């Protein structure tokens, strides 16, 4: 029955073999013209994609290395800033201590000069007072010697002399 069906369709064994041979030739030609170039294109794209991935990974590694370097530099800079800050604080403390010591020394010198001036003024005042006392005593003595005086007159003369002395 299969033979009858083939005969009805006008297909013979030779035609089927020729169609089969044409199909195989078509597959071979399509393989050379389409499949091989397509596979070559796919391989090229795969290699390019792999190269891009490798370049990307290399750049990521480079970026990570650069970031680590910058973090190290930043850390070193922060340490250097801390050291310089400490040095500046120490220098400021030393300068302030030196200036404080200089100010204390200057104050002591001024106090010593003032004490010396006070002492000099005190000596002058004592000499001036001594002179005035001598003058007052001379005045009192003149008053007493000029006449005979009673105790009340003596007190009055002394009071007058003291009054005159306080006015001067």
| Model pLDDT for residues 31-51, shown as the tens digit of each residue | 888 888 888 999 999 999 999
Question: For residue 8, is pLDDT > 70?
Answer: no
Looking at the structure of the chain, the number of domains it has is 1
Q: Are 140 and 158 in contact (CB under 8 A)?
A: yes
Task: Output b/e per residue, 92-123; b: 16+ Cβ within 10 A.
Answer: eeeeeeeeeeeeeeeeeeeeeeeeeeeeeeee
The whole domain housing 61 covers 2-167
CA dihedral over 5, 6, 7, 9, signed as positive or negative: positive
For residue 24, CA distances in Å to 14, 27, 35 come to: 15, 5, 14
Residue 161: predicted pLDDT? 74
pLDDT at 158: 73
* Residue carrying structure tokens 């005042």: 125
Written as six digits, the tokens of 19 are 């169609």
Q: Name the phi and psi angles at 6, rounded to 5.
A: -70, -35
- Distance, CA of 55 to CA of 50 (rounded, Å): 9
Q: At what angle do helices 151-167 and 36-146 cross, to 10 degrees?
A: 150
What are the tens digits of pLDDT across the range 64-97? 999 999 999 999 999 999 999 999 999 999 999 9
Write out the E strands in 44-118: none
- What does pLDDT average to over the chain? 83
Q: What is this structure's pTM?
A: 0.40
User: Which segments of 13-93 are extended strands (E)?
Assistant: none
Rg (CA), the chain: 64
């Amino acid at each position: 029955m299969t033979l009858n069906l083939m005969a009805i369709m006008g297909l013979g064994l030779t035609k089927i073999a020729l169609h089969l041979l044409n199909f195989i030739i078509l597959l071979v030609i399509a393989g050379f013209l389409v499949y091989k170039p397509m596979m070559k294109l796919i391989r090229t794209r795969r290699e390019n994609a792999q190269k891009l991935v490798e370049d990307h990974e290399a750049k990521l590694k480079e970026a990570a290395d650069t970031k680590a370097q910058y973090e190290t530099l930043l850390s070193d800079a922060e340490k250097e800033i801390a050291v310089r800050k400490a040095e500046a604080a120490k220098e400021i403390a030393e300068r302030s201590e030196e200036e404080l010591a200089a100010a204390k020394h200057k104050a002591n010198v001024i106090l010593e000069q003032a004490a010396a001036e006070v002492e000099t003024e005190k000596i002058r005042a004592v000499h001036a007072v001594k002179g005035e006392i001598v003058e007052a005593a001379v005045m009192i003595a003149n008053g007493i010697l000029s006449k005979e005086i009673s105790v009340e007159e003596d007190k009055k003369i002394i009071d007058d002399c003291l009054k005159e002395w306080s006015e001067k």
